[in-house]
Amino acid sequence: MKWRVAALFPLILILFLPLAPKTSQGEWVGQSRCLVCHGKREYRFYKKGGYAKNLYVSLEELRASVHKEKFCSDCHTDVVELPHRGTPSRVSCTTCHYKGNPEGAPQLDAYLEYERSIHGLEAKEGNPDAPLCQDCHGSHNVRPPEDPLSTVNKRNVARTCGKCHIDIYAEFRTSIHGVAVARGVEDAPSCPDCHGEHNILEPTNPESTVYPSHVPTQCSKCHAREAIREKYGIKAEPVKTYRESFHGVAIEFGARTVANCASCHGTHDIRPPEDPLSSVNPENIPKTCGKCHPGATPKFAEGKIHIDPTKKEAGAVYYVASFFKYLTITTMLGLICHILLDLYGRVRRMRRKERMR
Amino acid sequence: MSSREKELIDLLVKEAEDEFLRTAGDLPPEELERIRQKVRERARAEAEREVRRLLRKREEEEKRERERVEEEEEYFIRFNRNFRFQHMVLFTSVIILIITGLPLKFPDFALSRWLMSLWGGVKYSTVIHRIGATMLIYFMVHHLLYTLLSRDGRRDFIMLIPTPKDFRDFFQNIRYFVGKTEDPPKFDRFSYIEKFDYWAVYWGCVIMIGSGLILWFEETAMKFLPKFWVDMAHEAHSDEALLATLAIVIWHFYNVHFNPDRFPGTLLWWHGKISKEEMLKEHPLEYERIMAERARRKEAGEEGRQ
């Protein structure tokens, strides 16, 4: 019995081991060994071709991040001696961020979607440009997304994506959505609102949120909402009218060549119709429609696009729809009455014949 | 054998006897009498056989003629072959147009989804729809030429023009339905119901083909027309399609197939024949007219023979 209790001792010790190096201000002093070099602002590594990589690490930045209690070597696990030999490999966040980790490092299933995403697949294939966690979330300055200084905060995320997707960022910045995001409009979408976060797929992937047939669904997340439309003064019901139009119905039935929202309004460069640069500005309509309808004339701009035939704002179309509505109702009522009267007459005559027998 | 035939036989026998006497020359009287007797017997037998043959032949002819008349009286050809062909083209194209077109108007129905998947999506259904449209346009052209060039077509078109009698018929029919009168209206070749169907197809074809062509060649159309014209065409096309479908399925089908007289349906559209019974009930005026016409022709024919 006694030896069993004795055997438990080391076990209990092991259990409490992770708590042992209690972090404190004193421990950071230990980090100063790294900061001997990395604490210098002008500490750089010159690559071939004159490109310089800044190797400065701001201790203040790290202390303000979510990893303020971590040591350098907690993430840079391959640095075992100082000065380290060669370039340390890129940090793997999954060292801590895995399910059931004793550190309490957050781990959501959403993170795992990264592996299936275009970024994850490219990284797996060894594309050096493919982003890892730290490319978006920051390395020493990881902050919670709600933090206005976080690289993945709504106001900053487009710029973060723009580190690689610079052309698209340039388009987005001046679009109606980009301007609104920069002004701090909470409802306005930034990159992840349409493309997803960890699960970004290629637009050509049929499962992608921005695959052509999914585009209306993405846009409708906001533009089908009454509250949003009222708040921002969007008069037409863009999603409903699109869904009822031939374009909308055809896309529902699997057409791939038919226009979705983005075909006309653009994707990253969406601008209000009043903007002369907008693809749906009346001046630009012939060109925009002409992408699919060769030889589109300025006549394409004569008349509203998003029309609800049941509303008076639809103009002539409303009167055509009303005419047919009442024509159909009166005609069919008349014809059905005639049929019912005919049947009534037949039944009446049949009964009378039976009575007379 | 009637007395007329007997007389004929006697005449033939007498002729043969006379011929014999003229050529006999001078024979001894007993011999002459014996041969004369034989000639007479032989001539009678032959004449009788010949007359019987002729009689049988005439009887057969008369029987055939009687059968022909009977058959004609039992059935009337209501729709000629050309008209039946037009109707088949029309309903084939309309069915094609409905099953490829209406799913676009009601995309949320399960049936619509099923139909569209049947065609392989909107990419192919639109092609099938245009095939149907071509058939309908062909029908329209064919029918217009038929109306202009064919005698039956011109006659039918004139008889299809609404007249005040149609309004009287309509009110009388309603009165008949509710029991205010015992006499149903007497229709001619086309009742007001059939006239309504005919002009409804005219109206439908004009609207559907007109708006359909704008939508088919919208890029060309919008070289001349503003966009809201195309929108109006789209709205009219979609709404008239529904009205036409309802009118066909409810009204036309009830009147020609599903009403208790005809249930579960008629093959008139296939063979084009209508029975005397139906003719008397549904088109008594036409029946009377045809009968009067026949009688007049018969009379005229007999006069011509005399």
Residue B306 has pLDDT above 60, yes or no: no
Percent pLDDT > 70 in chain A is: 91
Other C-beta atoms closer than 10 Å to the C-beta of B58 total 10
Report the SS3 class of residue A130: coil
Residue B7 has pLDDT above 60, yes or no: yes
Q: Indicate if A234 and A172 belong to the same structural domain.
A: no
Among residues B74, B98, B118, the one where a domain terminates is B74
Taking the C-alpha atoms of residue A276 and residue A284, their distance in angstroms, rounded to an integer, is: 8
Q: Indicate if A99 and A118 belong to the same structural domain.
A: yes
Residue A305 has what DSSP assignment? S
Q: For residue B302, tell me if it sits in a domain.
A: no
Residue spans of alpha helices (H) in chain B: 3-24, 29-74, 81-105, 110-119, 122-149, 151-160, 164-178, 192-216, 218-224, 227-246, 253, 268-271, 276-282, 284-305
Q: Indicate if B125 and B187 belong to the same structural domain.
A: yes
pLDDT in tens, A85-96: 878 888 888 888
Contacts of B208 in chain A (CB under 8 A): none
Q: Indicate if A180 and A96 belong to the same structural domain.
A: yes
Classify each residue of A216-235 as buried b or exposed e, where b means 16 or more C-beta atoms within 10 Å of its C-beta: bebbbebbbeeeebeeeeee
Banded pLDDT at A18 (limits 50, 70, 90): very low
Q: Indicate if B134 and B157 belong to the same structural domain.
A: yes
- Number of domains into which chain A is organized: 3
pLDDT in tens, B54-108: 889 988 888 887 776 666 667 888 898 999 999 999 999 999 999 999 999 998 8
Helix B3-24 × helix B29-74 angle, to 10°: 150
Question: What pLDDT does residue B175 have?
Answer: 94
Residue B16 has pLDDT above 60, yes or no: yes
Q: For residue A171, tell me if it sits in a domain.
A: yes
Residue A198 has pLDDT above 80, yes or no: yes
Classify each residue of B156-169 as buried b or exposed e, where b means 16 or more C-beta atoms within 10 Å of its C-beta: bbeebeeeeebeeb
- Degrees (nearest 5) of the Cα angle A145, A146, A150? 50
Question: What pLDDT does residue B276 have?
Answer: 85
Q: Indicate if B253 and B141 belong to the same structural domain.
A: yes
Among residues B74, B91, B121, the one where a domain terminates is B74
Q: What are phi and psi of B114, to 5 degrees?
A: -65, -45
Q: For residue A235, tell me if it sits in a domain.
A: yes
Is A328 within 8 Å of B125 when comparing Cβ atoms?
no
Q: Are B280 and B73 in contact (CB under 8 A)?
A: no
Distances (CA, A) of A282 to A258, A289, B226: 21, 11, 13
Name A46's bridge partners. Answer: A52
Is B231 within 8 Å of A246 when comparing Cβ atoms?
no
Is B226 within 8 Å of A303 when comparing Cβ atoms?
yes
Residue A88 has what DSSP assignment? P
Q: For residue A296, tell me if it sits in a domain.
A: yes
Q: Are B261 and B275 in contact (CB under 8 A)?
A: no
- Number of domains into which chain B is organized: 2
Average per-residue pLDDT in chain B? Answer: 90
> Is the bond preceding residue B264 a cis peptide, omega within 30 degrees?
yes
Q: Are A160 and A152 in contact (CB under 8 A)?
A: yes
Question: What pLDDT does residue A6 have?
Answer: 60
Question: What pLDDT does residue B72 have?
Answer: 63
Q: Indicate if A103 and A80 belong to the same structural domain.
A: no
User: Is ipTM strictly over 0.85?
Assistant: no
pLDDT in tens, A19-56: 444 444 444 445 667 888 888 888 888 877 777 888 88
Q: Indicate if A79 and A112 belong to the same structural domain.
A: no
Residue spans of alpha helices (H) in chain A: 2-16, 25-38, 59-64, 72-75, 109-112, 118-124, 133-137, 154-162, 166-173, 176-182, 191-195, 215-223, 226-232, 238-244, 246-252, 261-265, 285-290, 316-356
Mutate which: A213, A253, A285, A307, vs B, most B CBs within 10 A: A253
Question: Token pair 């994707």 is at which residue?
Answer: A267
Q: Indicate if B210 and B110 belong to the same structural domain.
A: yes
Contacts of B254 in chain A (CB under 8 A): 339
Taking the C-alpha atoms of residue B5 and residue A65, their distance in angstroms, rounded to an integer, is: 135
Other C-beta atoms closer than 10 Å to the C-beta of A297 total 19
Residue A229 has pLDDT above 60, yes or no: yes
Q: Indicate if A194 and A278 belong to the same structural domain.
A: no
Report the SS3 class of residue A54: strand
Percent pLDDT > 70 in chain B is: 96
**In this structure, what token pair is assigned to residue A306?**
């998003």
Taking the C-alpha atoms of residue B160 and residue A329, their distance in angstroms, rounded to an integer, is: 25
Q: Indicate if A96 and A196 belong to the same structural domain.
A: yes
Pick the closest to residue A92 from A135, A32, A133, A44 (CA basis).
A133
Average per-residue pLDDT in chain A? Answer: 85
Contacts of B122 in chain A (CB under 8 A): 249-250, 253-255, 258
pLDDT in tens, B230-264: 999 999 999 999 999 999 999 999 999 998 888 88
Among residues A153, A169, A200, the one where a domain terminates is A200
Q: For residue B305, tell me if it sits in a domain.
A: no
Mutate which: B232, B238, B263, vs A, most A CBs within 10 A: B232
- Expressed as residue numbers, the domain containing A220 is 215-306
Question: What pLDDT does residue B73 have?
Answer: 64
Higher pLDDT, B75 or A323: A323
Q: Does B124 touch chain A (CB under 8 A)?
A: no
Taking the C-alpha atoms of residue A29 and residue A39, their distance in angstroms, rounded to an integer, is: 12
Taking the C-alpha atoms of residue A275 and residue A45, their distance in angstroms, rounded to an integer, is: 46
Residue A61 has pLDDT above 90, yes or no: no
A265-269, A310-314, B178-182, B233-237: which range is least confident on average? A310-314
Question: What pLDDT does residue A9 have?
Answer: 58
Q: Are B79 and B143 in contact (CB under 8 A)?
A: no
Question: Does residue A254 come out as left (phi exceeding 0), alpha (psi in the -120 to 50 range) or beta?
Answer: left
Q: Are B227 and A302 in contact (CB under 8 A)?
A: yes
Question: What pLDDT does residue A25 have?
Answer: 42
pLDDT in tens, A109-134: 778 889 889 999 999 898 888 998 88
Question: What pLDDT does residue A4 have?
Answer: 62
Q: Are B185 and B173 in contact (CB under 8 A)?
A: yes
Other C-beta atoms closer than 10 Å to the C-beta of B13 total 20
Q: Indicate if B105 and B69 belong to the same structural domain.
A: no
Q: Calculate the CA B203 to chain-centre distance.
A: 24
Q: Indicate if A97 and A36 belong to the same structural domain.
A: no
Q: Indicate if A54 and A117 belong to the same structural domain.
A: no
Q: How far is A334 from chain B (nearest CA, A)?
A: 10
Q: Indicate if A169 and A154 belong to the same structural domain.
A: yes
Q: For residue A96, tell me if it sits in a domain.
A: yes
Among residues B46, B74, B102, the one where a domain terminates is B74
Q: Does B231 touch chain A (CB under 8 A)?
A: yes
Q: For residue B155, tell me if it sits in a domain.
A: yes
Q: What secondary structure does DSSP assign to A171-205, as a single string?
A: HHHTSHHHHHHHTT-TTS--HHHHH-STT---TTS
pLDDT in tens, A145-185: 888 889 999 889 999 999 999 999 999 999 999 999 999 88
Q: Indicate if B164 and B233 belong to the same structural domain.
A: yes
Q: For residue B303, tell me if it sits in a domain.
A: no
Q: For residue A151, tell me if it sits in a domain.
A: yes
Q: For residue A329, tell me if it sits in a domain.
A: no
Give chain A's radius of gyration (CA, Å). Answer: 32
Looking up residue B278, the CATH number of its domain turns out to be 1.20.950.20
Q: Indicate if A185 and A243 belong to the same structural domain.
A: no
Is A327 within 8 Å of B243 when comparing Cβ atoms?
yes
Q: Indicate if B138 and B228 belong to the same structural domain.
A: yes
Q: Calculate the CA B162 to chain-centre distance.
A: 21
Q: Does B131 touch chain A (CB under 8 A)?
A: no
Q: For residue B151, tell me if it sits in a domain.
A: yes
Q: For residue B306, tell me if it sits in a domain.
A: no
Report the SS3 class of residue A52: strand
Q: Indicate if A194 and A267 belong to the same structural domain.
A: no
Q: What are phi and psi of A288, to 5 degrees?
A: -65, -50
Q: Indicate if B122 and B40 belong to the same structural domain.
A: no
Q: Are B147 and A279 in contact (CB under 8 A)?
A: no
Q: Indicate if B66 and B197 belong to the same structural domain.
A: no
Q: Indicate if B52 and B199 belong to the same structural domain.
A: no
Mark which residues 259-318 of A lie under 8 Å from B by CB: 293-297, 299-305, 307, 309, 314-317
Q: For residue A330, tell me if it sits in a domain.
A: no
- Expressed as residue numbers, the domain containing B149 is 78-297
Q: Indicate if B131 and B223 belong to the same structural domain.
A: yes
Q: For residue B46, tell me if it sits in a domain.
A: yes
Q: For residue A7, tell me if it sits in a domain.
A: no
Q: Indicate if B115 and B239 belong to the same structural domain.
A: yes
pLDDT in tens, B119-165: 888 889 999 999 999 999 999 999 999 999 999 999 999 999 999 99
Higher pLDDT, B301 or B38: B38
Taking the C-alpha atoms of residue A46 and residue A188, their distance in angstroms, rounded to an integer, is: 41
